[in-house]
Amino acid sequence: MATQTQIINLRLAINDPDCIDIIQVSTTNLLPAVPAQQSVYYVVDIGHYVATDIETGASPADYKQVKLYLSDGLLGALIDRYGADKAICYAYGKIIPKIGAELPLEENQTGTERAKFVTLTAKYNYYKKLYDECFAKYNKDHGNGTGQFLATKAQVIAGGQV
């Protein structure tokens, strides 16, 4: 069973949510008035990830739930099944279709739809590239080849007269 620390470390590795640190607090009453910059707080008693844009004097009501692509349950299952290193690759693979599903929605909006569509396309391509690179690196690090067998034969030198 994956621990919450393993899940948080996986979230930081895959950048879901987009932050540099995830800090655990027991209850919403313990959320700081001066939040750490570029950080998200995981509130243990409610199981939500929250953040605020207020730099000083923030109250618990100022913290809003952060949008996540993947649930803690899914990340925990990936860690349990594949291990922490390979779970990163599979998590990228799970994020890709979610971004792909957002593309038509953003394209149909009026006004700035083109800019949003390009941004989502770039995000989709970014995660797709990470997914491909992650498996390539994992296979290289763990000695997993392509599984191909190649036929070889002796070289013919000087018409086979040697």
Supply the mean pLDDT for the chain.
Answer: 83
Peptide bond before residue 97 is cis, with ω within 30 degrees of 0: no
Q: Where are the domains of the chain?
A: 17-65, 85-141
Strands (E), 44-153: 48-51, 64-65
pLDDT at 8 over 70: yes
Q: Long-range contacts of range 133-142, CB-CB < 8 Å, 24 or more positions apart?
A: 134/88, 134/89, 134/92, 135/89, 138/85, 138/86, 138/89
Q: Quick one: pLDDT at residue 132?
A: 85
Q: How far apart are CA 124 and CA 79, in angstroms?
A: 23
Q: Quick one: pLDDT at residue 127?
A: 81
pLDDT tens per residue, range 71-102: 999 999 999 999 998 999 999 989 888 876 66
Residue 112's pLDDT band (boundaries 50, 70, 90)?
A: low
Closest CA to 52 of 42, 69, 43, 40: 40
Q: Quick one: pLDDT at residue 139?
A: 76
Q: Quick one: pLDDT at residue 87?
A: 93
pLDDT at 108 over 80: no
Closest CA to 86 of 138, 137, 126: 138
**For 86, phi and psi rounded to 5 degrees?**
-75, -25
Buried b (16+ CB within 10 A) or exposed e, 24-55: ebeebeebeeebeeeebbbbeeeebbbbbeee
Q: Quick one: pLDDT at residue 37?
A: 92
What are the helix and strand counts (H, E) for the chain?
Answer: 3, 4
Q: How much is the pTM?
A: 0.71
Percent of the chain with pLDDT over 90: 53
pLDDT tens per residue, range 121-149: 777 788 888 888 888 887 777 765 555 55
pLDDT at 113 over 60: no
Q: The tokens 């070289």 sit on which residue?
A: 155
pLDDT at 115 over 60: no
Residue 21's pLDDT band (boundaries 50, 70, 90)?
A: very high
